[in-house]
Structure 1
């Protein structure tokens, strides 16, 4: 048995016929109907909008509260020759938002510049000193993008200085809103239908209203910020990403072209290209230094400058990856050494790079599936600053807001937040969040959930199916790639990768093969027995190699629901492959064997165990079959490991046949004596027998009273009674040993597993009879 790491939610049960009936008029495959139905797309109109996202599905920006007031103020600034400052953020959403707003303002004729606060010295969002510096430099209007909704005090300072502030943001609003000239925010606009735009989406809407037309030239930026910020890809976001990917694929923007070249992206750009290549590189700039460089890259019209800046961004991303790996290792070590009873992970250290703590928090959540906060301490200010990431059942924003007084700065979403707080408040925060988590979370909440869209047979999985599923792209938050489930027996299992930390399996069915890959699952190989059915959950993808395209499954989770047999027979030093210290495993010897370093026990010790055993090791073959049958009958286990040695085997020492016994006895009668020490080697040489065989035959004769010892030699018995050779117990013992060895040592894996399965089936049948009775 191998337990799944996630809770599997089979969303497709009882939906097939319903989706087919209600969506009967939709001309798509049954698979697509079922997948759409599971997402609540349950009318023909919704299907049409989802499968064919068009720009006319976008909402009118006039539905934003105060957007006309904001446009009027910008136009007033342009007419009066005022200077406008675009105040952005240092992540990919922030720098694309800044670029959109700057280009829209410049096209409108505004005198403008942009400013990205430094993550390390200023932190996220508006800060008073930056606003005061903007005033000193002569700016009369500040437009925030992807931030500002929490800047109550900073906006008040701007107002005192005589500057107006227009806020465009999408982050969660707190108790009080800033007294800005205008706030453009979907969640602060009751008439705006869609609340989940990214920061760049809000900036795009403002740009559209300002310019008076739909600015398609910004779609290549909008798609990058939207995907990188992990907002739900439905409604407007789906439309913007669908058309944005096309725009990015053909974009002539010098910075994006340079980035695509570095990422080796050719042809059509996918959402994965942004999520795993372009987005992380843009984010890396603000994580390690001033993010203005990223905006410079997106704004530049000089191909050479774009190439130079892109290369610098690439170097920063490589450096960022190393820093993340180092801090993650330290964070895991700190957590492993700490109190594991806490429901929320909080790790803290002086000197950690603040720019990557969100990534580290995400890795902790992935590893332990608990809410995680990672903080870096500033030794001078005695404050801790960092990031939080959470799990589905725990709203990090709302729970932290219940203790807002502990923070100097705080903001974010349900699943991600940023914060600054005095060092002395960390322990209080840990206690309070632990209390809230205990009230809200159950044991099941600490396992991730996998929503499974359908079960397939291996023979169902082909390129046609993958191309069909691709109709649902772009995938991402709110529209994840569908996960499929199958059960089959792998024909090949192996560890791959430089450190053997990945798992690769091949499944075959009706002449069709499917390769599967599980990144980071290489450690599961010792827990996968051959010829055992395996349940797999994963997402389908295309594997292309040397121009050949074929389906592949990326494994998300797997499970073995039946007991497993592992065959270590005849394997030398098998104990080196086993974690001897692991709990709930037993090493049974029937013969009293002693193996160095192994905690050997007898069968009675195991029979006294009342709970199911994870691993039961059988070190030797029992003398009596009943001993093993009793063990199998009484003990419940998940994995059975046979470690029988083939040394001193009786199996190939075949029993002498009747003619051989007869010949030796007649020899005794003729010679009248047999001096074993002298005559046995001669006889062995003459007949080609082994000494052990000759010794065994005389043991049988002696037990049946056919011979006796006299004066140190073997002599025939006078008038022995007539007996069959098989009546001798030594003969029966040898025969019994050979039969046991045939079952347990020289059988094939399949034969051995069948034997054990039959014993367990007998137990199961007996249990059913008792239960039924």
Structure 2
């Protein structure tokens, strides 16, 4: 048995398959998926399946929009200097670019400023505003930032700079006293509150230009997808139409980025989320993010290529830094094995603040609990970092309950950034952990996978995948559908990747084989027995290679519902297997105290078992049980299995002197030998056993065994190696000989437990776990 890492929500599978409208030209499957996404009418379905730019809301519905437009026009008329103050992530970079281009188009004298993450931190700051004043700036427009800039807004007023804040982050207790505030969640009449920072900037651009800025869609899609805002409503329209725009974009910076990423053909949300977005983010994570804005703004092809190459190098550096910090953070967390805190808070001097959000995400993924990762600055006495969370724990709400611990704080329910005094770190950890303990149930600490439907192997086709993709782009609020493939036996299983950290299963289907690939699931390879049936949850996708397309499953999780048999019989490398398995709660069973194989494996507690010690075994379900040697009877093994009922059985025994490979004398063997002795009146064991064995085609051990059985039963006498008949023997069955019984038992044990096939052994053990079977041995009566 192998438990799933996540909770599988199968509630959608029990919902009735009710169609939305029979006149919709989509299949029942698509209509079912739409209903699961809260779409229940034909009109809503058509709007979702055919996103239309005409359905976007009027930007003038924003509070302060007209005031903001008038102020920019006044700046243009008076030839004032305007500064766009942006942020250093992909949303902020694309929002800055959109705003700068729109202002240039209306004739403004404009420049942009991205704060340095390391020297200035997040958001507007007083020093930057004072520097802007010295440069003659009289109007500052923030994009993707500013909603928490209460002090900076006051500074702007003091400097006689008008401040227009455009942002989408959560509104805090006090709003900044700015000239104007464009925020979808703080607009009394704007219908859609979930825009990304670039979405708000795009709306401002639309209002400024007085016509829809179609030429900026290739920029708005980057921030909308990269910032993980819900992809429904306006965001779905902007993402859907933006992907089409960025696919055909001739903007030099985008062309250069696509080339360096190896992106060809139609772009998808995954290209943005996993290729474009991380590279833009890498710039601001390691240095000043201005080159990323310059890449988007440049009209020079050569400059674009040079900037894209620089960004690629920074991204590679970022990946190494993330890997190093993640390794250190995990070591800190696992140093105290007694208990993981409900909210992880780790920090260290020297960690790069720019990548801590990525590290936090990795910790959440590994440990299934909220994580805060901090960089310590002993000179300033501060800790600065980022947080990521699980679905059940709202970071923004809970951190606001301890807002007094932070010097700076801001973010969303699932992601946040903060600065706090070093001496408050331990209190932050304990306070948030206590909140999590009070508010969450144990099952809340597992990732939830909402399963949309079940599929069989034969249903996984290119046609079905194309149909599912009609719901794209996928993302927050519109997750890619997850399907469950239930209890199928892989015909091939292997680890892939340079570090063997990914898992690939191949299943036999009616057509071509179906591959299932699980990134980061490579460690499960040794936890799945070769002939086990597995259930998997994953996304259906298309694997395209050398022009050929075939369906595949991208696994998110898997489980094995039945108990598993790991067949290591005779395996000389069993210890290596168990080292990789890394069991912590196993039981090692040994039947023979004299056997030198009883060196146990790490994580397994050794226990010797015989008929008298059977009651010492724990009763109930045991997770892992390894058998180190063979018992003296099948009945003993049967009773052990029935008592323990293990979820995973490992047969790690070997046989050196196998009775099964030697012929057990039959009744005819015994009769012939007895008649031979009667005819010759005696038989010298030491002198004649080899000759007789050669003559009959037996082994010498067979001859000696027959003689010893006869001696035990009293049929013969043996003195000084000479065997003679007992003139008055008592009639007995062969089964009454203890040696015969032991040999028969050994033969049956070896035949059942060692020389059987995998399937035969699995079936036999399965039977024993259901009921105790007392093994009846065959009795041979007389000679």
Contact 1:538 1:557 in 2 (8 A): yes
Instruction: Tell me the CA shift for residue 723 of structure 1.
Output: 5.6
Contact 1:534 1:558 in 2 (8 A): yes
Instruction: Find the aligned partners of 2:582 and 2:406 in 1 and give their Cα distance.
Output: 44
Instruction: Tell me the CA shift for residue 721 of structure 1.
Output: 5.5
Change (3 A) 1:175 1:662: closer
Change (3 A) 1:712 1:445: closer
Instruction: Find the aligned partners of 2:576 and 2:615 in 1 and give their Cα distance.
Output: 23
Instruction: Find the aligned partners of 1:410 and 1:658 in 2 and give their Cα distance.
Output: 88
Aligned to 1:586: 587
Change (3 A) 1:328 1:690: same
Instruction: Give the alignment of 1:218-233 within 5 angstroms.
Output: 218-233=216-231
Change (3 A) 1:126 1:723: closer
Aligned to 1:89: 87
Instruction: Find the aligned partners of 2:340 and 2:748 in 1 and give their Cα distance.
Output: 53
Instruction: Find the aligned partners of 1:187 and 1:221 in 2 and give their Cα distance.
Output: 22
Instruction: Find the aligned partners of 1:168 and 1:534 in 2 and give their Cα distance.
Output: 50
Instruction: Find the aligned partners of 1:248 and 1:500 in 2 and give their Cα distance.
Output: 35
Is the deviation greater in 180-189 or in 512-521?
A: 512-521
Aligned to 2:342: 343
Please list the CA deviations of residues 68-88 of structure 1 after superposition, one character each: whole Å capped at 9, or x if unmatched: 000001001111111111111
Contact 1:16 1:34 in 2 (8 A): no
Contact 1:584 1:615 in 2 (8 A): yes
**Uncovered stretches (5+) of structure 2, i.e. residues with no partner:** 601-605, 774-783
Instruction: Find the aligned partners of 2:441 and 2:305 in 1 and give their Cα distance.
Output: 51
Instruction: Find the aligned partners of 1:142 and 1:584 in 2 and give their Cα distance.
Output: 61
Aligned to 2:597: 595
Aligned to 2:755: 746
Contact 1:36 1:47 in 2 (8 A): yes
Change (3 A) 1:48 1:698: same
Aligned to 1:43: 41
Aligned to 2:655: 646
SS in 2 for 1:578: helix
Change (3 A) 1:597 1:652: closer
Q: How many residues align?
A: 762
Aligned to 2:143: 145
Contact 1:223 1:244 in 2 (8 A): yes
Instruction: Tell me the CA shift for residue 497 of structure 1.
Output: 2.2
Instruction: Find the aligned partners of 2:250 and 2:402 in 1 and give their Cα distance.
Output: 48
Contact 1:93 1:228 in 2 (8 A): yes
Change (3 A) 1:548 1:393: same
Instruction: Tell me the CA shift for residue 684 of structure 1.
Output: 2.8
Is the deviation greater in 273-282 or in 653-662?
A: 653-662
Change (3 A) 1:24 1:15: farther
Candidates 703, 711, 722, aligned match of 1:713: 722
Aligned to 2:25: 27
Instruction: Find the aligned partners of 2:608 and 2:340 in 1 and give their Cα distance.
Output: 33
Candidates 633, 642, 646, aligned match of 1:633: 642
Instruction: Tell me the CA shift for residue 565 of structure 1.
Output: 1.4
Aligned to 2:17: 17
Instruction: Give the alignment of 1:596-615 within 5 angstroms.
Output: 596-598=598-600, 599-603=606-610, 604=613, 607-615=616-624
Change (3 A) 1:606 1:189: farther
Instruction: Find the aligned partners of 1:323 and 1:478 in 2 and give their Cα distance.
Output: 31
SS in 1 for 2:256: helix
SS in 2 for 1:347: strand
Aligned to 2:539: 539
Instruction: Find the aligned partners of 1:382 and 1:732 in 2 and give their Cα distance.
Output: 79
Instruction: Tell me the CA shift for residue 659 of structure 1.
Output: 4.4
Instruction: Give the alignment of 1:286-297 within 5 angstroms.
Output: 286-297=284-295
Change (3 A) 1:760 1:340: closer
Candidates 681, 689, 695, aligned match of 2:698: 689
Aligned to 2:209: 211
Change (3 A) 1:68 1:586: same
Instruction: Give the alignment of 1:228-307 within 5 angstroms.
Output: 228-307=226-305
Instruction: Find the aligned partners of 1:340 and 1:740 in 2 and give their Cα distance.
Output: 44
Contact 1:594 1:600 in 2 (8 A): no
- Answer yes or no: is 1:453 the counterpart of 2:452: yes
Aligned to 1:467: 466
Change (3 A) 1:585 1:204: same
Aligned to 1:771: none
Aligned to 2:711: 702
Please list the CA deviations of residues 102-121 of structure 1 after superposition, one character each: whole Å capped at 9, or x if unmatched: 11011101111111111111
- Answer yes or no: is 1:528 the counterpart of 2:528: yes
Instruction: Find the aligned partners of 1:763 and 1:224 in 2 and give their Cα distance.
Output: 64
Instruction: Find the aligned partners of 1:711 and 1:137 in 2 and give their Cα distance.
Output: 117
Instruction: Find the aligned partners of 1:484 and 1:731 in 2 and give their Cα distance.
Output: 58
Please list the CA deviations of residues 269-303 of structure 1 after superposition, one character each: whole Å capped at 9, or x if unmatched: 11111111111111111111111111111111111
Contact 2:618 2:643 in 1 (8 A): no
Contact 1:412 1:418 in 2 (8 A): yes
Aligned to 2:4: 4
SS in 1 for 2:561: coil
Instruction: Tell me the CA shift for residue 564 of structure 1.
Output: 1.2
Contact 2:713 2:732 in 1 (8 A): yes
Is the deviation greater in 582-591 or in 723-732?
A: 723-732
Instruction: Find the aligned partners of 2:438 and 2:622 in 1 and give their Cα distance.
Output: 33
Instruction: Find the aligned partners of 1:143 and 1:747 in 2 and give their Cα distance.
Output: 77
Change (3 A) 1:143 1:286: same
- Answer yes or no: is 1:518 the counterpart of 2:518: yes
Instruction: Find the aligned partners of 2:655 and 2:511 in 1 and give their Cα distance.
Output: 37
Instruction: Tell me the CA shift for residue 256 of structure 1.
Output: 0.6
Instruction: Find the aligned partners of 1:428 and 1:761 in 2 and give their Cα distance.
Output: 52
Change (3 A) 1:474 1:606: farther
Instruction: Give the alignment of 1:717-736 within 5 angstroms.
Output: 717-718=726-727, 720=729, 728-736=737-745
Instruction: Find the aligned partners of 2:769 and 2:720 in 1 and give their Cα distance.
Output: 55
Instruction: Tell me the CA shift for residue 642 of structure 1.
Output: 2.0
Aligned to 1:552: 552
Change (3 A) 1:507 1:77: same
Contact 2:598 2:628 in 1 (8 A): no
Instruction: Tell me the CA shift for residue 750 of structure 1.
Output: 1.0
- Answer yes or no: is 1:100 the counterpart of 2:98: yes
Contact 1:607 1:635 in 2 (8 A): no
Please list the CA deviations of residues 194-240 of structure 1 after superposition, one character each: whole Å capped at 9, or x if unmatched: 11100000000000001100000100000011111111111000000
Instruction: Tell me the CA shift for residue 663 of structure 1.
Output: 3.8
Instruction: Find the aligned partners of 1:38 and 1:284 in 2 and give their Cα distance.
Output: 36
Contact 1:11 1:38 in 2 (8 A): no
Contact 1:15 1:34 in 2 (8 A): no
Instruction: Give the alignment of 1:462-501 within 5 angstroms.
Output: 462-487=461-486, 488-501=488-501
Change (3 A) 1:458 1:31: same
Contact 1:352 1:376 in 2 (8 A): yes
Instruction: Find the aligned partners of 1:271 and 1:606 in 2 and give their Cα distance.
Output: 60
**Uncovered stretches (5+) of structure 1, i.e. residues with no partner:** 765-773
Instruction: Find the aligned partners of 2:426 and 2:721 in 1 and give their Cα distance.
Output: 87
Change (3 A) 1:95 1:576: closer
Instruction: Find the aligned partners of 1:560 and 1:292 in 2 and give their Cα distance.
Output: 50
Please list the CA deviations of residues 50-83 of structure 1 after superposition, one character each: whole Å capped at 9, or x if unmatched: 0000001101101100100000010011111111
Please list the CA deviations of residues 687-720 of structure 1 after superposition, one character each: whole Å capped at 9, or x if unmatched: 3321101101212332343321245522233354
Change (3 A) 1:173 1:722: closer
Instruction: Find the aligned partners of 1:730 and 1:456 in 2 and give their Cα distance.
Output: 57
SS in 2 for 1:637: coil
Instruction: Find the aligned partners of 2:311 and 2:561 in 1 and give their Cα distance.
Output: 48
Instruction: Tell me the CA shift for residue 511 of structure 1.
Output: 5.2
